[in-house]
Structure 1
């Protein structure tokens, strides 16, 4: 029997609490099950129980088998000295403290209804994608809505750790952090990490100084991404390359040795040349971008900020030396939506958190305006009848799949908990 199920049984008292006895026949009364820590050390902290009229306050440790105590080397850890009850599914050996007193044992399987075990086994039975795929539509709307908000908050918390790490690296420069996050976003899944690492080699103070001349910005960013390393006959390429070497000499920067950006399998509008030129033009056309991004609450206003295109040269090019039919290379609304989801929302959350402000409702309201993401995970939930109407819901479902379903954390999930009760 898995320990997470035993944690669930103990935490919510899903067993006969009126007739409990230790393995040695002593009567047990549970006053408080304790606090479920999910940290190193005993599973439940500061529990209160009575064993044969003797009151105890301390910790509770839970295992599938008693012998797991020694398998996990708890006898060597002083934090387990204060365990007042060892809750197990099967008792196969006695456990002693360092003073040779025996730790009382509760064999839980003797007090759990068969239906509870069968419900758990049914929920955790192998399925084609996730454990509860056939039961998902049985979950109440109230549970789903509240759990989605919690999932969204958890996702923002996880993303904010990256932002705070970047702040440390940039000497608390929010503008520099935004620049790095946008670069990663502009690179999408294929080139995102390469773009991110490339722009980190450019001190943002230089981006600020050179933002008034878009060709210099493009030269810096293209050069950092390794797009100017070859030799070409194209005059625009030669100009950017000249500017790049002039700028790294001017600012005494080291020439970056970037990984090769990927063109393969991209639609032309997502070629790294186009996306990096658009990024350069964004910082040319929008001064003090962070001050605008950190406070914007309307999707319409965001579309206005990101109403930019690639440089004029790219009107009839996707790559250097290769002309193509003339076409404006602007950012589509669907691409800006990805920026909202992956950069603007996490950044606003982290900034508000740093200021001690709570803006979760505002962020949910903004994402309610953004169309749901389209990917394999969301499509699969759709096939089970769980449809995401907007980006708030799709972000919550991605968190659910990645952090709960994939890790079999059903007993920490509100959906799994409700299904188990049924």
Structure 2
């Protein structure tokens, strides 16, 4: 058993509270169980109880054993001076305030409804993947959809954290933030962090000023990524090396990073050379990319926006000095979907918040129109009866698995609470 079960029982009054008595035999009437804030300090704030006909207002602390009070050193924390009731599963030692008065203790194991405890133990019995794997498909659609929406926005708020960090680093330059986040996602899992380092190392003013000439953009990106061969054979490589050296001198910024981009295990279309060439072409095509992206409200318009190719050289190359069959190397639909899910929607969400605008429905419409993601977590949920129809649902399931199931937070989960009620 974990404390979260006792929190649930106390919060939702899943026990017989008609004739409560403390361990000392005093009668207890719960007027208000308090606010469950899940912050530092006591578990429930601003509770009200009547103890032997005297009304008390203060906080309630909950533990599995009363001795946990001393184990957690609450006796030395002034935040616990206003605890009026200690709620425990097992009372093993008396607890005293600093003035040596004993804190009233309520032992819950004598009052919890039998079926509630049985449902909890059934839910928390170890399974092969998640605790509720044999029951989750019984959750009604309405409850599941409401919970998925909350999960989705929780995940979106988590994705907002690195955006806000970049915003601070760039002195509130949203265009620079977009460039860095796009670069990271162009690098995918293998080169994402390397591409982010590259993007952060280039003043966005350089990208902005050189965006009219594709060769200069490519020179800066390839130069900062250490991909230009030291002894190049073809004229293109020699030319962009000269352009890169010129840009370093012109804008007075230095190459201080060693990004170590990887080709290993990538299909040719995902080679870092191709992804950087696509990023360069994107900013060469749109000098006002940020404003365009912020104005789009439909998924089809994103597909049109990203309908671009690479420069002539990279249409016949995957690597420097190695000619290949000509291919325009446009963005695939699945790649654009990844950009929308992991970069564009989070930035739209964050920017709208900063401007005090409400775009919840726009974001939901975009995510509902994107095909569901294919990964092991989504497939496993489908195996247990929760099948996804779109990216909104798959993103919510990723949040559910990573932040609730993996953490054993069944009683912070609407599904777990619903199963306990059943």
TM over 0.5: yes
1:122 CA drift (Å): 1.1
Q: Which SS does the other structure have where 1:41 is aligned?
A: coil
- Report whether the alignment pairs 1:94 with 2:115: no
TM-score normalized by structure 1? Answer: 0.98
Please list the CA deviations of residues 100-135 of structure 1 after superposition, one character each: whole Å capped at 9, or x if unmatched.
111000000000122211211111111111111111
Runs of 4+ aligned residues of structure 1 deviating over 6 Å after TM superposition are none
Q: Quick one: distance in 2 between partners of 1:99 and 1:61?
A: 18
Q: Quick one: distance in 1 between partners of 2:55 and 2:110?
A: 23
RMSD (Å) for aligned C-alpha atoms: 1.0
Q: Quick one: distance in 2 between partners of 1:392 and 1:43?
A: 33
Indicate the larger mover: 319-328 or 262-271. 319-328
Q: Quick one: distance in 2 between partners of 1:335 and 1:128?
A: 32
* Structure-1 residue corresponding to 2:388: 388
Q: Quick one: distance in 1 between partners of 2:155 and 2:229?
A: 38
**Structural mapping, 1:19-418, within 5 Å:** 19-228=19-228, 230-418=230-418
Q: Which SS does the other structure have where 2:240 is aligned?
A: helix
Indicate the larger mover: 170-179 or 159-168. 159-168
Q: Work out whether residues 229 and 237 of structure 2, in 8 Å CA contact, stay in contact via their aligned partners in 1.
A: no
1:187 CA drift (Å): 0.6
Q: Which SS does the other structure have where 1:163 is aligned?
A: helix
1:420 CA drift (Å): 1.2
Q: Structure 2 unaligned runs (5+)?
A: none
1:153 CA drift (Å): 1.0
Q: Work out whether residues 35 and 47 of structure 1, in 8 Å CA contact, stay in contact via their aligned partners in 2.
A: yes
Q: Work out whether residues 195 and 259 of structure 2, in 8 Å CA contact, stay in contact via their aligned partners in 1.
A: no
Q: Which SS does the other structure have where 1:294 is aligned?
A: helix
Q: 1:229 to 1:106 in 2, by over 3 A?
A: farther
Q: Quick one: distance in 2 between partners of 1:144 and 1:130?
A: 16
Q: Which SS does the other structure have where 2:20 is aligned?
A: coil
Indicate the larger mover: 347-356 or 111-120. 111-120
Please list the CA deviations of residues 220-272 of structure 1 after superposition, one character each: whole Å capped at 9, or x if unmatched.
11122221264332322222212111111111111133231111111110000
Size of the aligned set, in residue pairs, is 422
Q: Quick one: distance in 2 between partners of 1:16 and 1:295?
A: 56
Q: Quick one: distance in 1 between partners of 2:259 and 2:214?
A: 24
Q: Quick one: distance in 1 between partners of 2:122 and 2:232?
A: 64
1:332 CA drift (Å): 0.9
TM-score normalized by structure 2? Answer: 0.98
Q: Quick one: distance in 2 between partners of 1:196 and 1:116?
A: 49
Q: Quick one: distance in 2 between partners of 1:165 and 1:2?
A: 35
Q: Quick one: distance in 1 between partners of 2:231 and 2:85?
A: 73
Q: Quick one: distance in 2 between partners of 1:133 and 1:263?
A: 39
Q: Work out whether residues 35 and 47 of structure 2, in 8 Å CA contact, stay in contact via their aligned partners in 1.
A: yes
Indicate the larger mover: 329-338 or 113-122. 113-122
Q: Which SS does the other structure have where 2:318 is aligned?
A: strand
Please list the CA deviations of residues 177-211 of structure 1 after superposition, one character each: whole Å capped at 9, or x if unmatched.
00001001111111111101111000101110000
Q: Quick one: distance in 2 between partners of 1:315 and 1:291?
A: 29
Q: Work out whether residues 153 and 360 of structure 1, in 8 Å CA contact, stay in contact via their aligned partners in 2.
A: no
Q: Quick one: distance in 1 between partners of 2:288 and 2:316?
A: 30
Q: Quick one: distance in 2 between partners of 1:295 and 1:146?
A: 28
Q: Quick one: distance in 2 between partners of 1:215 and 1:414?
A: 53
Please list the CA deviations of residues 280-331 of structure 1 after superposition, one character each: whole Å capped at 9, or x if unmatched.
0000001111111112001111111111112211112111121222211100
Q: Work out whether residues 226 and 256 of structure 1, in 8 Å CA contact, stay in contact via their aligned partners in 2.
A: no
Q: Work out whether residues 286 and 305 of structure 1, in 8 Å CA contact, stay in contact via their aligned partners in 2.
A: no
